[in-house]
Structure 1
Amino acid sequence: MLSHLASRRQMLLAGLGGTAAALLAGIAHPALASAAVAPPSKAGEWVQGASKSSVRRAYSFLSAKFDEFGSGTALRVPRSYTGGFFQTPTWDFVASFAYDDALVIMAWLASGTKDDLNRAVLLGDTLLYAQANDPIGDGRTRASYQPDSFFTLNGSLDIGSPAAYTGNQAWVGMAFAHLYDRTGKKRFLEGALLEAQWIQDKTSDVERAPYGYTGGRTADDQPNTFKATEHNIDVGAFFTMIAQLTGQKVWRTRARLAFSFVAAMQDPASGHVWTGTDPDGVTTNRNPIPEDVQTWAYLATLDHRYGRAVDWTLENLPATDAGVSGVSYSSTDVSKVWLEGTGQTALALRARGARGDARLAAWLLWNIQKAQETTANGDGRGIPAASSDGLDTGFGDLYYASLHTGATAWFLMAAKGWNPFRL
């Protein structure tokens, strides 16, 4: 296998120009190298990853989205998607997804500046308010909120999607955990514990093997009976943080349950991780195979066994479109680049640090930066969700070339080398 890859690598590099070939010589994955858009002429500008200007502009985008529907100390959430498909003369989709909001908080914490820390705290307080004022009031947060009318006239929340997915709860909880770890403000630990207890009470499954955590609650507050590898990665990382912050060993035991499900989903032959189970909670769902669980499994655990899952992504999901290269969303459609997943892959490579990983991570970051500068719906600051419209996830959704707070936050965390799954 290794000799086969080495021979392919030499053939692919032979077809590149001198500068590009020299820069890509350290990349051990020919599937991506073959799709390479030529990087900058000066190697030093590229191997260091994203430029300071690109990072600064991306942070400016997040700040602008946060202030679009409020200012000062007003509690508020940023819209998730801007431009293109989501903003037309007859339709303006302004929903703010809690997962994206958690990522924005973490990107601001990665910044290291006082202003970004203050923004992170304010957005964290907004999510605490949403948790405390939820109409059910059991510690959950919802999939999305409406930033243009976050507070309705009667003072209640304007909820966009009322679903309460397990992974979303864990991401909001991880954001609270990071905020407590950084600031020492107990309200964030209390919010994190409410999220953690909700996940434990509502989704733990030790009756249907492989054991783990189910998908949460639907918009109608009915149980999602499937188990998602993505959710269990999130839960394992989140519960590990709770154990670290509280010293309560029971959370580490619960984290091991979640991670045992992830381990059960790894294919022994290829090393990739399956997406999870069917609604019966038992039968493995083998189609599609998504990118995020591959890189997240490694980032959450730093376990070498999931280095194979990262390699699977590099070999099976490379994509080039609209002058940009990276990885796609899943095995369903590799015709377009998923910029959020490309940032996740760059961060996983930086964390792994194997031979050639640093150079490949820098090359992926440079491609995201190129998308920032050239995307059709861009403002030179935000990162688009996809390189062009219509990326099929394989899960019934499409991604578009609209600017996305989540993709922008992943780019910033990758550029900073900041792992959201670890304290």
Structure 2
Amino acid sequence: MSQTSRRTAILGGATLGLSLLYPATASADTGLKTSVGKAHAFLAAKFDEFGSGSALRVPRSYTGGFFQTPTWDFVSSFAYDDALVILAWLAGGRADDLRRAVILGDTLLYAQEHDPIGDGRTRASYQPDSFAVLNGSLDIGSPAAFTGNQAWVGMAFAQLYARTGRRRFLEGALLEADWIQDKTLDTERAPYGYTGGRNGEDVANTFKATEHNIDVGAFFTMLARLTGRPLWRSRAELAFGFVRAMQDRAGGHVWTGTDPDGVTTNRNPIPLDTQTWAYLATLERRYERSVDWALKNLRARDAGVEGVSYSSTDVSKVWLEGTGQTALVQKLRGRRGEAQQLLDNIRTAQETTEHGDGRGVPAASSDGLDTGFGDLYYASLHTGATAWYLMAAHGWNPFRL
């Protein structure tokens, strides 16, 4: 399992230099609007696949291709993806989006409340049938409790509270935050920060992941603002201090994190998301160098789509989720032309991917994208990739209130 494991996919210049250039014309804007509407429809359909109305439910994370064969139908719903879906609905802002976001948020609260250990954690994934009969039992897909996952669910709760004022979401966020603080804080092995949580056997992960600390820093910053308690801001600063320690002075990129000893820097591979997320979470100029490094070194082109890949291990295929992240970064940096190019390429993947429906965004441009952390991504439709596309299209930063 990788240090960046938010979910498991089973088991010269700083610009992209894309060739698929689309000027920002009225027709292009109309095309993007249509594409965004289709992406929202995809998330709604996935959410309603295992329930309807006000029923608690979760959407499957992956659809089609590798994950759906005549003999196998993989329906697991990853908590990280569920958090992204909530955030994409909040970005959309429509009344029906908000209604669905609240139901999915309540589903994750139910999972938190009825966890077999019951200490405030949520798990890496759940099976949709967990919520068909609300008898207190859960059908857990992956029992791991990674720190980053806890923070993403917590951020979704925090954003729901900020939007709705419903205190149960703040209470759920605080339970997640207390779990992170109690179970993962490491102030004994410099650079100090938060470790990787618990694996599927409930054994502590002793590495410290940069990605997880970005998530924690953003989440705790939200809590400081929502609760008015400075303690959360000081804890956020500890997490962000670890991220700063992981930035390479020469190249500007941000390393993965540490080895299990909690001290030695892990320098291979170099992932995309630590570059994009460090900027999105902090908006600090120092991480523009990280983004520029990624745009130069992680460019990818495959299956008629151009964008960025998952890590330095494999740049032969496009990682669509990460391309959405990068589009959002470029939009926030004021580089709207480059952002539009990236969004147009995601739209191309949405329209042309082999296993597509014209609505959802695939995880990768084609099967077999090697993350470098022991996982592969496939050209299957993905709620997480679709959600990042929507947040980028709406210009909505999930790391900030």
| Length-normalised TM-score, structure 2 | 0.95
Distance of 2:190 and 2:132 partners within structure 1: 43
2:53 is aligned to: 72
Q: Of residues 194, 216, 224 in structure 2, which corresponds to 1:235?
A: 216
Residues 180-195 of structure 1: pairs in structure 2 closer than 5 A: 180-195=161-176
Distance 1:216 1:50, change over 3 A: farther
Which amino acid in structure 2 is aligned with residue 261 of structure 1?
A: F
Residues 401-412 of structure 1: pairs in structure 2 closer than 5 A: 401-412=379-390
Distance of 1:188 and 1:152 partners within structure 2: 22
2:8 is aligned to: none
Distance 1:352 1:46, change over 3 A: farther
Tell me the alpha carbon deviations over residues 348-403 of structure 1, each in whole angstroms, 9 at most, x when there is no partner: 111122xxx21001000000001000000000000000000000000000000000
SS at 1:68 equivalent: helix
Larger Rg: 1
Tell me the alpha carbon deviations over residues 51-94 of structure 1, each in whole angstroms, 9 at most, x when there is no partner: 11000000000000000011111100000000000000011110
Q: Of residues 184, 197, 209 in structure 2, which corresponds to 1:216?
A: 197
SS at 1:100 equivalent: helix
Distance of 2:77 and 2:169 partners within structure 1: 20
| Corresponding residue pairs, total | 390
Distance 1:141 1:49, change over 3 A: farther
SS at 1:76 equivalent: coil
Aligned-residue offset at 1:37: 4.0
| Length-normalised TM-score, structure 1 | 0.90
Contact 2:114 2:136 in 1 (8 A): no
Contact 2:157 2:173 in 1 (8 A): yes
Q: CA RMSD in A?
A: 1.4
1:396 is aligned to: 374
Distance of 1:154 and 1:122 partners within structure 2: 18
Residues 32-111 of structure 1: pairs in structure 2 closer than 5 A: 32-33=16-17, 36-40=18-22, 43-45=24-26, 48=29, 51-111=32-92
1:371 is aligned to: 349
Contact 2:130 2:137 in 1 (8 A): no
Distance of 2:353 and 2:77 partners within structure 1: 22
SS at 2:56 equivalent: coil
Q: Of residues 216, 236, 260 in structure 2, which corresponds to 1:255?
A: 236
SS at 1:262 equivalent: helix
Distance of 1:47 and 1:111 partners within structure 2: 19
Aligned-residue offset at 1:112: 1.1
Contact 1:105 1:120 in 2 (8 A): yes
> Percent identity over the alignment?
77
Contact 2:59 2:77 in 1 (8 A): yes
Distance of 2:215 and 2:301 partners within structure 1: 29
1:287 is aligned to: 268
2:160 is aligned to: 179
Higher mean C-alpha displacement, 344-353 vs 395-404? 344-353
Report runs of 4+ in structure 1 exceeding 6 Å deviation: none
Tell me the alpha carbon deviations over residues 288-338 of structure 1, each in whole angstroms, 9 at most, x when there is no partner: 000001000000000000000010110000100000000000000000000
Aligned-residue offset at 1:38: 2.9
Which amino acid in structure 1 is aligned with residue 365 of structure 2?
A: S
* 1:113 pairs with 2:88: no
Distance of 1:155 and 1:201 partners within structure 2: 25
